[in-house]
Amino acid sequence: MEYSLDKAELKGKRALIRVDFNVPFNERLEVSDDTRIRAAVPTILKVCNSGGRAILMSHLGRPTSGPEDKFSLRHVLASLEQALGKPVRFISDCVGEKSLLDTASLHNGEVALLENLRFYKEEEKGDEFFAGQLAEHGDIYVNDAFGTAHREHASTAVIARFFPNDKYFGYLMENEVKSIERVLNDAEPPVTAIIGGAKVSSKIAVLKNLLPRVNHIIIGGGMSYTFLRAMGGQTGNSLVEEDQLSTADFILAEAKRRGVQIHLPTDTVVADSFSNVANRQTVPSNEISSGWMGLDIGKESIAKFSEIIENSRTVLWNGPMGVFEMDNFAVGTRAIAESLARATAKGSFTLIGGGDSVAAINQFGLSDEVSYVSTGGGAMLEFLEGIELPGIRAIRNIS
């Protein structure tokens, strides 16, 4: 890749790296999930091991009135040092003379972490002067924060202007871009997209962008009932977006025109309330009685979907098949995750993206058995919609 970190001259250089350390904490303000921190380690160590100095910047949470201790990135330090296996210097601000002196005093191979960018409202506003202040910390700029690539913020898009010939993708960002572009533009057929989740309205643009690129679309989760209702089915108390019935009709017609096969659940596990202990039964998906709601796909649908997945060479999964957070309605989502693992083992390329899909693949302990698990929820969704993300556009010099 043209803007790969491997092409950068790093020795003796200050690499200003935008990472995504927007991580969850427990009540003791300790990191409760360090996935995003560990994802940044290869890029940071590449800089250090090449004789450079790594200066990290990130946002954390949504502070509303300047510095707040609970949003301080110093709470990330312990987990970051453990992941890197080396000490990290914490800089108590991200701009200003003192912070510049602190980062300038780093030695080759050392790492510093700047304080939360969002303590300054200029960050989210994409303020150019603020971006210029940040830029003074680095000789080169590295964006390794795919999860924020869809934002036109100072540290993700605007700052790249100050490094016209010295801006690069970090390894995480590079892998994200390569993986998604492989599915969208260079996929080995048959190509299957599994699209789930609650609402059609949140996936319309994704579905439209995928139609020219795939052979099969499997639709599950709450959004499937809008399609089933559009086709004249009885959906009981299942989640249906009445204002999206015409959209569902359009997608079905467009898929038929393009020769893309749309697969909907043929049987559904229904419940008489939205509860793990609700009464449940399996019924035909288009014959759900009043008072019952679909919360998972049934065994017949699992078998059908699994066969399609395991006979595909490229598979994208975005969205669960049911309410997998409840054990009694997690069977379908788990089965899809397991079929993706089997497809991967046979040589297929499998990409998992979107917050719920990532949560599911992690919950079932299968994240290491698929090809790639994306770290960016909203960013991946916009990428799949065909939008050129600001954080990517800024590195690639696309105006």
Q: Angle between the 223-230 and 245-258 helix axes, to the nearest 10 degrees?
A: 80
Among the listed residues 86, 342, 355, 393, the single catalytic one is 355
The alpha helices in 231-297, defined as continuous H runs, are 245-258
Element (H, E) at 14: strand 14-18
- Around Cβ 6, how many Cβ atoms within 10 Å? 12
Q: Which residue in 86, 178, 182, 199 is the catalytic one?
A: 199
Complete DSSP assignment for 105-161: TPPTT-EEEEPPGGGSTHHHHT-HHHHHHHHTT-SEEEE--GGGTTS--TTTTGGGG
Strand ranges across the sheet with 267-271 = 280-284, 267-271, 293-297
Q: Tell me, rounded to whole angstroms, the distance of Cα 112 from its chain centroid.
A: 26
- 199 is annotated as an active-site residue: yes
> Catalytic: 36?
yes
Q: Residues 61, 109, 132, 378: which is the catalytic one? A: 378
β-strand partners of 169: 4, 143
Q: Terminus-to-terminus CA distance in the chain, angstroms?
A: 19
* Residue closest to 324 by CA, chosen among 337, 305, 315, 307: 337
Q: How many Å apart are CA 235 and CA 135, to the nearest integer?
A: 55
Backbone angle region of 106, left / alpha / beta, with phi > 0 → left and psi within -120 to 50 → alpha = beta
Considering 36, 53, 167, 213, which one is annotated as catalytic?
36
| 253 token code pair | 């017609």
Q: Say how far residue 281 (Cα) sits from the centre of its chain.
A: 34
Residues 6+ apart with CB under 8 A from 14: 52, 53, 55, 103, 104, 106, 137, 138, 139, 140
Contact predicate 203/197, CB 8 Å: yes
Closest CA to 117 of 36, 37, 24, 16: 16
What ranges make up the beta strands (E) of 20-99? 53-57, 89-91
Q: What are phi and psi of 8, to 5 degrees?
A: -90, 145
Active-site residue list = 36, 199, 355, 378
